[in-house]
Amino acid sequence: MSVINEISEALQKGKRKDVARLVQQAIDEGMDAATILKDGLLAGMNIIGEKFKNDEVFVPEVLVAARAMNAGTALLKPLLSGDAAEPLGKACIGTVKGDMHDIGKNLVRMMIEGKGIEIIDLGVDVDPQEFVKCAIENDCSIICCSALLTTTMPMLGEVVKAAEEAGIRDKVTIMVGGAPVNQAFADSIKADIYTEDAASAADAAAAVFAN
């Protein structure tokens, strides 16, 4: 098995130390960093994403795979140059003000990273203005916000309003999600995209940058 395939396999098993070792081995063997990233790490993460969508793997497997991917990308970042160093695009993500839940948000973040998108994690209990400030300062094209409580759902609408008031509404795609959220609610607050799971969110984010 080639070292690239070994990287992908180790990532899929969540073996972060093995991924780090194999990525270093590939670097030492003179492999192009962009190839290691694309064909080893992102390819492995894409397989995990598809398996997650098909209920072949579950949340813990995605989390450990994503962490293994991060162990590999940390080694590659200093070596990537030019276009290869550029992410597909930039996004920010957080759970809205008043809401402390983060599993779903963490999962979405990891899967969006798996698509080669740079994503800034604002954490939980995030003010609408903080989302907007981050998007402006970091030139993010996507704002992802989640709410797990019925009482914090309205804050998703406040993020949309904050983007309008800051004059960046037409420059950002606002994605929303979370257990109590649905398409009808997303439409009512004029969010751009609603997805009901992390894998779909990652696909939708990638599609934003593909268009």
Partner 1 sequence: MTMNMKQWVADVIASDKKKALPVLSFPSIQKMGITVAELINSSDKQAEGMKIIADSCPTAASVSLMDLSLEAEAFGSTIRVSDDEVPTVIGSIVSTEEEADALKVPEIGAGRTQIYIDAIEKACKLITDRPVLAGVIGPFSLAGRLLDVSEALMYCYDEPDMVHTVLQKATEFLINYCNEYKKVGANGIVMAEPLAGLLSPALAQEFSADYVKQIVDAVQDDNFIVVYHNCGNTAVKTIDTIVTNGCLMYHFGNAINMAEMMSHVPENLVAMGNVDPAGEFRNGTAESVYNRTKEVMSECCKYKNFVISSGCDIPPMSPWDNINAFFKAVEDFYA
d(CA 64, CA 204): 22
Residue 106 touching partner 1 (CB under 8 A): yes
Residue 100 touching partner 1 (CB under 8 A): yes
Structure tokens at 76: 């590659």
Cα dihedral value 141, 127, 187, 167, nearest 10: -50
Using the rule CB under 8 A, which residue among 81, 151, 187, 190 binds partner 1? 151
Residue 55 touching partner 1 (CB under 8 A): yes
Residues 6+ apart with CB under 8 A from 54: none
Residue 103 touching partner 1 (CB under 8 A): yes
Number of residues interacting with partner 1: please give it, by CB under 8 A: 25
Which of residues 74 and 103 has its CB atom nearest to partner 1 in the complex? 103
Residue 58 touching partner 1 (CB under 8 A): yes
Task: Choose the binding region for partner 1 from 21-29, 61-69, 74-82, 168-176 (rule: CB under 8 A).
Answer: 61-69
Residue 14 touching partner 1 (CB under 8 A): yes
Residue 194 touching partner 1 (CB under 8 A): no
Residue 53 touching partner 1 (CB under 8 A): no
In 3D space, the residue among 12, 44, 23, 179 whose CA is nearest the CA of residue 99 turns out to be 179
Q: Hey, which residues between 108 and 137 contact partner 1 (CB under 8 A)? A: none
Residue 54 touching partner 1 (CB under 8 A): no
Burial 37-58 (b: 16+ CB within 10 A, else e): bebbbbbbbbbbbebbbeeebe
Q: Which residue has the tokens 């940058």?
A: 209
Residue 49 touching partner 1 (CB under 8 A): no
Which of residues 37 and 66 has its CB atom nearest to partner 1 in the complex? 66
Q: Hey, which residues between 66 and 85 contact partner 1 (CB under 8 A)? A: 67
Which of residues 31 and 45 has its CB atom nearest to partner 1 in the complex? 45
- Which chain residues interact with partner 1 by CB under 8 A? 14, 55, 57-61, 63-64, 67, 98, 100-103, 106, 149-153, 179-180, 182, 185
